[in-house]
Amino acid sequence: MDISDSNSTESSVIYETEQTRYLKFGVFAILEPPALICNYVLIHYLITDRTLRHMLQYHAILALLIVSLLTNLVEVPRILNYLRLNIVLPQTNINCLIWQWCDYLLFSAMNVLMLWTSIERHIFIFYSHLHTTAKNRLFFHYLPFIVIITYLVLFYTVAIFIYPCEQQFDFTQPLCGFPCYTTHPIISFYDLFAHTYFPLFLDLLLDIILVIRVFYRKRVGLGQHRTQWQKRDNKYLVGMSSTTMFFLFFFVPTVLMYTNTPTDYDLYGSKISINDIFLIEADNVYQEWYPTLFPYTEASGCDLYFSAMTCQFVYSVIATPSNNLSFVYNCINSQGNNVIGFYASNQTCNFQLIDERIISNYSTQDNFLIDFNGDGTGIYGIADDFIFYYQIYPTIDLFVWPNTLGISPRGMHIGANQDYAVVAGYCQISTSVANECGFLIRLNTS
């Protein structure tokens, strides 16, 4: 690789710095010991106290505390080690798989168990007769816990250890990047909604419904049983609802932290590219492609919705330089994955999605550039964390490497001479300052 570097005036760029990393490390390190102590004391108290141990209402709390304890014992030490070293150790595939399995399993278990806790709260208060016999207690209390844990363990064991996909680990990323099953849109969509969005929002809805039902029940009165009901259930209602609200207060922001701003022109503006036979425009506001064939007539415009692909918004689109009806795009999907895809048509408006791939094991890239090589057979791309080559002719393939140049790219161009690319951007020179810089890069696919 031949590189020429030019630097000029300094500019401020926000990065993950050593100071912010150690700040996170300090927060985790300070909170971890008291969290472990509280977890242990509460679990010990619920197990050793015979009265509490036999009260069905506290079993859900016990299950949540056990998941929380496992998180503090298994997940937090790994995070602390990563923040301290800024790399995953040991650098083995099995270590990465185990970390991904534990992380996804424990996070989903907390979400789904909290949902069951909200459901069971309704049963305890309004349908307590379902727990009057041993058989009913088995089916309506103990069995759901067994089913939830067994299902989640099997799902993530198959998805992470068995599902046939090409895993590329990045030891510079937490969890070594995303599990490779997240590159499959259907499985990834199911996992996200079934184990995260659906439990959290249904949990909130059930709590709102519970409060409404309780106030209604108090208002209409319960005759001679009213005082007995209030003493029995008011304390339980307040305690469990407070637990759920506390959980949602801290968990929902982590689920929603990847969001889009419709007024952000960089993300939602129109993206346009053209060759000699057609123009292609990506409209992120209405989530449509607008291909326009040349020569222009009233019938030469086409509409193509984003629904065929997984993109939530498109970063850029480029028409093939070989003057055929095809184009390549790069985008971000709903989970923040970096996506590259390819559309083609047979000289009509009948565009078809030929291929779409997630550049796995990398977090959402704020700077993600693409350009065709000189003969139009493939696309080179560069982002803050990776460089890739996306071959579309004669066969489709994707090659990804870490970005070791130290540049945060802002612009890239490949001319007719496909041997070189010019990349301009910012190069970090200290924890808070970056210089403008440029590279002349010799291109290859290996």
Range of lowest pLDDT (51-55, 198-202, 315-319) = 51-55
| Token pair of 42 as six digits | 């509460």
What superfamily in CATH does domain 18-260 come from? Rhodopsin 7-helix transmembrane proteins (1.20.1070.10)
Per-residue pLDDT at 5 exceeds 50 = no
Query: What is the pTM assigned to this prediction?
Result: 0.58
State how far the Cα of 42 lies from the Cα of 244, in Å rounded to an integer.
17
Percent of the chain whose pLDDT exceeds 90: 30
Distance CA 78, CA 175 (A): 9
- Of the ranges 44-48, 214-218, 225-229, the best mean pLDDT one: 44-48
Collapsed DSSP state (helix, strand, coil) of residue 10: strand
Structure confidence at residue 11 (pLDDT): 32
**pLDDT single digits (tens) 357-398:** 988 778 888 788 999 888 888 999 999 899 999 999 889 999
Distance, CA of 388 to chain centre: 21
pLDDT at 265 over 50: no
Q: What type of residue sits at position 49?
A: D
- Compute CA distances 366 → 129, 139, 216, 360, 398, whole Å: 55, 49, 50, 15, 21
pLDDT at residue 144, as a whole number: 94
> Tell me, what's the pLDDT at 249?
59
pLDDT category at 15 given cuts 50, 70, 90 is very low
Handedness of CA 144, 150, 153, 155 (dihedral sign): negative
The structure tokens listed for 107 are: 């996070």
**Helix (H, G, I), strand (E, B), or coil: what is residue 134?**
helix
pLDDT at 162: 93
Q: Which pair of tokens denotes residue 112?
A: 């789904």
Specify the length of the chain in residues: 446
**How many Å apart are CA 198 and CA 193, to the nearest integer?**
5
Instruction: Determine the pLDDT at residue 2.
Output: 38
Q: Who wins on pLDDT, 296 or 257?
A: 296
Statement: residue 171 has pLDDT above 90: no
Residue spans per domain, the chain: 18-260, 310-442
* pLDDT at residue 121, as a whole number: 83
Q: How far is CA 145 from CA 110, 142, 167, 241, 392, in A?
A: 12, 6, 32, 20, 48
CB 360 within 8 A of CB 180: yes
Residues 6+ apart with CB under 8 A from 422: 412, 413, 414, 438, 439, 440, 441
Percent of the residues in the chain that have a pLDDT greater than 70, as a whole number = 82
pLDDT on residue 375:
82
Tell me how far apart the alpha carbons of residues 212 and 216 are, in angstroms, rounded to a whole number: 6
The pLDDT, as a whole number, for residue 87 is 87
pLDDT of residue 388: 93
The pLDDT, as a whole number, for residue 245 is: 61
